[in-house]
Amino acid sequence: MLYRKIFFRRLVSAAALFTLCAAAATVPLSAQQNPVSGEIRIDRRHTVLPQLGSKGEALQKVSLADNEDPIVRQRADEILPEEKVGILIYQMRNRSIVNVDTEMVRQGPYPFSELHGEGRGSGIVLTKDGVILTNFHVIDGADSVTITLFNGEAYAAALIGKDPNTDVALLKINAPEKDLFPVEFGDSSRILVGQVVYAIGNPFGIDRTLTRGIVSNLNRTIDSPKQHRQIKGVIQIDAAINPGNSGGALFDSRGRMIGMNTAIASPVGQNSGVGFATPVNTISRIANILLAEGKVERGDIGIVQVTEVDGGLIPALIDNDGPADRAGLRGWKLAMVVSNQRGVRIQSVRRIPPKGGVDMIVGVNGQPIHSGEEFISLVEEHQPGEEVVLNIIREGKQRELPVVLGQPDEEEK
């Protein structure tokens, strides 16, 4: 898109490195069998994903002298207070992170030949019965997926469901419960800029790597694997993440998962200190739908980005001629601006404020909202063609603005 000056890089390691091989049969991802554990069965009714808002544990108060790791116990007196949390988070959560290895097979240039490609990313254990979370782009186009646990045991994976719009995919493996360590979900609507976070993933295939940083900003928008779509409400972080980190977990200082590491902004495809994670509240909502239905249907309101202010949300960017724009919402839009510099005609895309001032969104269908995530969640409960009412403040007065939701796969105008 013209107005994007940075490059969003998906964090899949060695994707699409194709080598020419003799023809061989492959098993479709959606119908794989585990050669060790037999056919993979998905119990959509009784599988329960982690609940949002786990209280976690105040790790600053945990004594290292009683730690289960003898090495940590021996060195407890040498560990500084600011180091303790990172050590405990890694001990608690590193076994929840898995390697996701993909294989792609394409027709080769010669008769009876095939091109084989490989990719590698990260994944997160969600349940004791083997539900694994990862990014959609990690497994996109794969003919087979293998999940490797912390102990080196590998299992074939079956696809439960995928949502390219939010870059979320759910997989299922048959592995012993004793080898599966599910994460706990926090509440990403309570995150603050400046909060310390910890990322665990498999950069460049180096498994279960821990990095630390802070939340740099909130409610960012990044490109979705789905063409012409964007992921909204994203967490920006400065913790080092690199190719292979996609699908790994972002934790707060209590060891609660608050996001899934998804992309970086970088012209070279490696860590630049600007990373992005899909918030756990979005993941929880989408994952529960995928578990129940296998796919997600949603309406699109045509608001690309919002800014949280005291009392509500400011539409920082809306789609030209999108549903919100057609309904009359006042927000910033993109426009082509032509200027003349020393006789040279220059075209550029700029954000243009609305005439009469910008609206403030304070609710959806009468329900007050305080964050971008709350807004997205309330809107996406509705199907394309349904009407939602935005409660707004315009020029100091409260108003109701009906908006008919559009199709999520419409091209941006």
In DSSP notation, 167-235 reads: TEEEEE----GGG-----B--GGG--TT-EEEEEE-GGG--SEEEEEEEEEEEEEEE-SSTT-EEEEEE
| pLDDT < 50 regions, the chain | 1-8, 14-38, 410-413
Contact 296, 286 (CB under 8 A): yes
Contact 246, 137 (CB under 8 A): yes
Domain assignment of residue 75, yes or no:
no
Domain assignment of residue 83, yes or no:
no
Residue 94 pLDDT:
94
Q: Does residue 409 carry a catalytic annotation?
A: no
Are 317 and 168 in the same domain? Answer: no
What whole-number distance in Å separates Cα of residue 27 and Cα of residue 208?
28
Contact 59, 255 (CB under 8 A): yes
Count the alpha carbons within 13 Å of 392 in the hemisphere toward its beta carbon.
21
Contact 93, 255 (CB under 8 A): yes
Which residue among the candidates 129, 140, 163, 167 is catalytic per the annotation? 167
Are 17 and 162 in the same domain? Answer: yes
Question: Comparing C-alpha atoms, which of 67, 72, 122, 118 is closest to residue 98?
Answer: 122
Q: Does residue 137 carry a catalytic annotation?
A: yes
For position 400, which CATH number holds?
2.30.42.10
Domain assignment of residue 140, yes or no:
yes
Q: Is 78 helix (H, G, I), strand (E, B) or coil?
A: helix
Q: Does residue 167 carry a catalytic annotation?
A: yes
Domain boundary among 152, 175, 198: 175
Domain assignment of residue 199, yes or no:
no
User: What's the angle, vertex CA 317, arms to CA 348 and CA 300, rounded to 5?
Assistant: 125
Are 307 and 170 in the same domain? Answer: no
**CB count in 10 Å sphere of residue 112:** 7
**CB count in 10 Å sphere of residue 32:** 23
Domain assignment of residue 254, yes or no:
no
Domain boundary among 175, 198, 227: 175
Domain boundary among 123, 142, 175: 175
Count the alpha carbons within 13 Å of 135 in the hemisphere toward its beta carbon.
32
Domain assignment of residue 87, yes or no:
no
Residue 4 pLDDT:
32
The domain in which residue 126 lies consists of 13-42+97-175
Which residue among the candidates 96, 122, 188, 246 is catalytic per the annotation? 246
Domain assignment of residue 25, yes or no:
yes
What whole-number distance in Å separates Cα of residue 173 and Cα of residue 32?
10
**CB count in 10 Å sphere of residue 209:** 22
Which residue among the candidates 13, 122, 137, 359 is catalytic per the annotation? 137
Q: Is 161 helix (H, G, I), strand (E, B) or coil?
A: strand
Based on the structure, what is the number of domains in the chain? 2
Domain assignment of residue 26, yes or no:
yes
Residue 248 pLDDT:
95
| 258, two tokens | 């608050």
For position 19, which CATH number holds?
2.40.10.10
